[in-house]
Amino acid sequence: MTDSEALQTPAPAQEHLSLRRDVTVWGSYMWGYADVGADIYTALGLVIASAHGAANLAFALAGIVYILIGLCYTELAAAYPVAGGGQYFTLRGLGDLGGFVAGSALLLDYTIDIALFTVASAGYLNFFVPYIFGVHAHAVVLKLGPFHLQWVWLLEASALIALLTWLNIRGIRESSILNEVLGLIDICTESAIIILGFLFAFKPALLVHQWRYEFPTLHQFMYGSSLAIISFVGLESISQAAQETRRPATIIPRTSLTLIFTVFIFALAFSTLALGLMPWRTVPVEDPVARLAHQIPYAGLVAGPFAAILGATILLISANSGVMSVSRLTFSMSQLGLVTRWLDAVHPKYRTPHRAILLFAFIGWLETFLSFLTPSAMDTLGNLYAFGATLGYLLVFVSLIVLRTTDPYTPRPYRMPLNVGLRVRGRRIQFPLLGMIGMLGVGLILFEVILTHKIGRIAGPAWVGLAFLYYLWFRRRQRLPILGSIPRDWETEQRRVLEEAEEFELLEEYNSALAQRDRIRHIGAPRNAAGPPPSSAPRDPGANS
């Protein structure tokens, strides 16, 4: 069976979706926190090194945009509770090509996720190296012509990638219980570091001094604020888990909104504490949270090593989520006719998508190796991470606005605030003002990335460009629309999704609005008749095609 023929049959993954809807409110929150909560361990040092004395301002501005991104994802994930996240939302709103571009940006993020978080995890483990060997691991350098390779750090990160690849091929992965326990310990640890740090070590005069005399240039601040967005990347994980969440229409808004403000508060608190605790030049890139904890009087002797161990563990789990998410995303894209089903092949013994795991884990390792040929591996990987994230977020915002117009009937259990009623094509819609502001904000950060990231502005578009060439070749070979979309019955799809999610009230509302729409079409709606309420039924089948 060819890929194009396979698209005419139901996706085999859908047969067991209801069996996997076992994620609770706490599990959903910790699913996201295990991913997003780890980002501050990586981003803090990078942003402070770039934005200097204004690092907390950079986190605040990026955090405001992140809150808008979170509200957008909350609405879409609650309305369309299926795996695929931003790639699926974009496909619904912008069609197959838009969905593929969003998917390619996510694939870049997931491979960088593997590379960046394994490097960061090894960096936190290196907190102990000076005490054991008397030398910092990043100071052990091998000269290869013009390159200065930190080979010990590279070897550690490579070993972690190999370990994660092996575990995922065998089908061994961290359990939900382990995620929840580590997430809870991490929240308590970060809260303790912040409280004890402000009580016993914070120096307001140092913070004011760095604000007055260590303020960055505009270019440095733009670079730092664009890097700050990586401390908020990970909301995609809640959307990816929407298809496994019980009563997603109720749970996702609760968990997403709580996660958004938890991470925002932690990012702002840690960056402010750091500037009032240490001169920005002394904050390390590789293990900033552990070093901050180590500066706290009395508790630092224990808090520093404990934060290092916890940081290494949490970051390794985030790297593992990248390995797992790659196979999930490629499966979703193959089912939608965006990539070949060759990537869906499962291991005959372990029953895992070994091809996708091996391919993208290798790409993640290659990115790791190449990043160590640059002056700062962490900074280089952060460059690429920021590009993929902002491009994906921009497409999701555009899709939100488009779906409000083309699909005003689908029930939306949560809706972004500040909406304006408009009439489009004889139907009344709720236009999202905050969605437009968020789109402009993400667009500004993407502009900063392109302007200030020397590597990201070349490698990021090159990745998307090569992926687009593959898409053209694949669709032409499978005789699928190249720039158009495959016809899909989104109404039937939405009914099935709501039924499997056990959102029967929303399903009834959906069917009622759909029947009302059909009655109006049958009798001929007056020109000035109000359309169905925005939280009712879906648009026409194949409207994106």
Using alpha carbons only, give the angle 385, 485, 458 rounded to the nearest 5 degrees: 25
Distance CA 447, CA 389 (A): 13
Q: Which two tokens stand for residue 507?
A: 């399903």
User: Would you say 332 and 87 are in contact if contact means Cβ atoms under 8 Å apart?
Assistant: yes
Distance CA 116, CA 114 (A): 6
pLDDT 10s digits, 373-395: 988 889 899 888 889 889 999 99
Residue predicted with more confidence, 364 or 383? 364
Whether 1 shows a pLDDT value over 60: the answer reads no
Q: Per the structure, how many domains does the chain have?
A: 1
User: Would you say 106 and 236 are in contact if contact means Cβ atoms under 8 Å apart?
Assistant: yes
Would you say residue 273 lies in a domain?
yes
Whether 537 shows a pLDDT value over 50: the answer reads no
Would you say residue 182 lies in a domain?
yes
Going by pLDDT thresholds of 50, 70 and 90, the confidence category of residue 149 is confident
User: In the predicted model, what is the mean pLDDT of the chain?
Assistant: 84
Q: Is 286 helix (H, G, I), strand (E, B) or coil?
A: coil
Going by pLDDT thresholds of 50, 70 and 90, the confidence category of residue 174 is very low
Type of residue found at 447: F
Helix count and strand count (H, E) for the chain = 20, 4
Which range in 163-172, 241-250, 322-331, 476-485 is most confidently predicted, on average pLDDT? 476-485
Would you say residue 532 lies in a domain?
no
Would you say residue 537 lies in a domain?
no
**What's the domain range around 434?**
3-523
- Of 300, 252, 356, the closest CA to residue 21 belongs to 252
Would you say residue 502 lies in a domain?
yes
Distance CA 82, CA 499 (A): 12
pLDDT 10s digits, 45-76: 999 999 999 999 999 999 999 999 989 999 99
Whether 20 shows a pLDDT value over 50: the answer reads no
User: Would you say 110 and 331 are in contact if contact means Cβ atoms under 8 Å apart?
Assistant: no
Whether 36 shows a pLDDT value over 80: the answer reads no
Would you say residue 539 lies in a domain?
no
Would you say residue 544 lies in a domain?
no
Write the DSSP symbol of residue 348.
Answer: T
Q: pLDDT at position 448, please? A: 93
Kindly report the CATH number assigned to the domain that includes residue 199: 1.20.1740.10
**If you average pLDDT over residues 338-362, what whole number do you get?**
86
pTM for this predicted structure: 0.84
Would you say residue 530 lies in a domain?
no
